[in-house]
Amino acid sequence: MNFLSCFCTLSYSDVKMSSQYQRSVPVEVRRAEGERVRAKHPDKIPIIVERAARSRAPELDKKKYLVPSDLTVGQLCFLIRQRVSMRPEEALFFFVKNSLPPSSSPLSAVYEEHHEEDLFLYMTYSNESVYGA
């Protein structure tokens, strides 16, 4: 069963201080989209997942995801890992605001604590355990 519902295909470059999506789309447009998605799917979490700056991990084909709120960070990591072509022995780390959330945390809790004003949760991923290193 596929828990990820992609609602747009985007192509972005590396994430630096803020996400490429945040830099390329005005806040009013992002906010309107976030409100529309949350109103239509109140039981789901809108997430932007982008590769961290300087990461050698493969790019995702899609950056926007709508996931069940009861999904954990670890489950999302597993699902995202399936979408990138990496060998099983390669590590993949996920960051929210430059910190590693516990893999057992429900995304609903991470969302409540870390979502942006546009109502999206921004996550970056890297094959390095130190963000931006």
pLDDT in tens, 6-24: 333 222 333 344 788 899 9
Cα 24 from Cα 22, distance rounded (Å): 6
| pLDDT surpasses 90 at 88 | no
| Closest by CA position to 107, among listed 66, 61, 67, 72 | 72
Residue 24 confidence (pLDDT): 92
Q: Tell me the CATH number for domain 5-126.
A: 3.10.20.90
Distance between CA atoms of 37 and 1, rounded to whole angstroms? 22
pLDDT at 1: 40
pLDDT in tens, 34-85: 999 999 999 999 999 999 888 889 999 999 999 999 999 999 999 998 898 8
